[in-house]
Amino acid sequence: MAALALSAAWALAADYTGPLFDAHLHYNEEAAQGPHPLGDVLARMQRNGVRGIIANSRPNDGTHALAGSAQTRAAGVTVVPFVRLYRNREDYGNWFRDESIYTMVQSELARGTGSGPFRGIGEFHLYDSANADGPVARKLMQLAEERQLAVLAHIDDKAVDLLMAHTASRGQRVRLIWAHTGIGGAPVARVDELMARYPLLVGELSYRPGLTCESGKLCPDWRRLLLKYPDRFVIGSDTWINQRWQYYDQLMAAYRTWLGDLPADVARKLAWANAAGLFGLQQP
């Protein structure tokens, strides 16, 4: 019994224990108006040491609620608000050519939030990378670079190149946060190539296939890639459905497990400092 307790304590001691920045968080209406009111989601962040979040929601009301509430500040959570492109489910497959989305984004940017201006656009999805060339996709990438807004995009590796090509700098000066770093599992060598090509490209690691192997530790090729680009990856919950809120504790615990497998300074960068640094947040 004593031996078991000792080994459990030893395993826990190896986990990363510092602050977390959740760089891919949704607070959608079915959560906010259903089982996860503001107090509930803030409690989940608080007990997991999540001190900063990129917040976006369908529609944007959830983000305004999080960003504008005294409860959020009391919970010690800093909100970095992003404009979501979706008013409803239909918008997922149409936003890249729908001018009314562009108008909505501009009015949200003008409005801002209770914790300051919007800092980014997204998450948006491109299920067919060819739609990266849609007229609204082009305009939004240009707007992002001009206004120094970050972009959170759920896209494949081909669409990274296509979107980057729409900016004046050809992707050299725009902060693109690549949701899941390719949910389809772009090969590590291809991710490496894109990281080298675009200096401000950041990989977000939720749902990333092939990231973790035995006992929830990093797979060797991913460990090498994270160590090669220690300033370029962030973590996120991707609470796109209520089930992800239900398992928020387990998601964050899983990150702490593999973060603990990295040198302490690298773990802290991935867990907190890389995302915080994108938006000038101070260390909690």
Under rule CB under 5 A, which residues in 171-190 are in contact with Zn ion?
none
Residue closer to Zn ion (CB basis): 92 or 221 = 92
Contact by Cβ (8 Å): 37, 237: no
Q: How far is the CB of 77 from Zn ion (least distance, A)?
A: 18
Residue closer to Zn ion (CB basis): 153 or 262 = 153
- Of these, 22, 91, 108, 123, which contacts Zn ion (CB under 5 A)? 123
- Of these, 16, 240, 245, 255, which contacts Zn ion (CB under 5 A)? 240
Applying CB under 5 A, the span of 14-22, 48-56, 238-246, 262-270 interacting with Zn ion comes to 238-246
Applying CB under 5 A, the span of 118-126, 131-139, 159-167, 245-253 interacting with Zn ion comes to 118-126
Applying CB under 5 A, the span of 116-124, 164-172, 226-234, 272-280 interacting with Zn ion comes to 116-124
Q: How far is the CB of 214 from Zn ion (least distance, A)?
A: 27
Q: Does 238 bind Zn ion (CB under 5 A)?
A: yes
Q: What is the DSSP string of the chain?
A: -HHHHHHHHHHHHTS--S-EEEEEEE--HHHHTTT--HHHHHHHHHHTTEEEEEEE-SSTHHHHHHHH-HHHHHTT-EEEEEE-S-SSGGGGGTGGG-HHHHHHHHHHHHH-BTTBS--EEEEEE-SSGGGGGSHHHHHHHHHHHHHT-EEEEE--HHHHHHHHTTSTTTTSS--EEEGGG-TT---HHHHHHHHHH-TT-EEE-TT-TTSB-GGGPBPHHHHHHHHHSTTSEE------SHHHHHTHHHHHHHHHHHHTTS-HHHHHIIIIIHHHHHTTPPP-
Under rule CB under 5 A, which residues in 88-107 are in contact with Zn ion?
none
Q: Does 22 bind Zn ion (CB under 5 A)?
A: no
Q: Does 21 bind Zn ion (CB under 5 A)?
A: no
Place of tokens 């693109």: 176
Applying CB under 5 A, the span of 84-92, 99-107, 111-119, 235-243 interacting with Zn ion comes to 235-243
Q: How far is the CB of 207 from Zn ion (least distance, A)?
A: 9
Task: Give the pair of three-digit tokens for residue 71.
Answer: 């409860």
Cα separation, 30 vs 240, in Å, equals 10
Residue closer to Zn ion (CB basis): 27 or 240 = 240
Contact by Cβ (8 Å): 83, 120: yes
Applying CB under 5 A, the span of 46-54, 117-125, 192-200, 246-254 interacting with Zn ion comes to 117-125
Residue closer to Zn ion (CB basis): 127 or 227 = 127
Q: How far is the CB of 242 from Zn ion (least distance, A)?
A: 13
Q: How far is the CB of 196 from Zn ion (least distance, A)?
A: 26
Residues in contact with Zn ion by CB under 5 A are 123, 238, 240
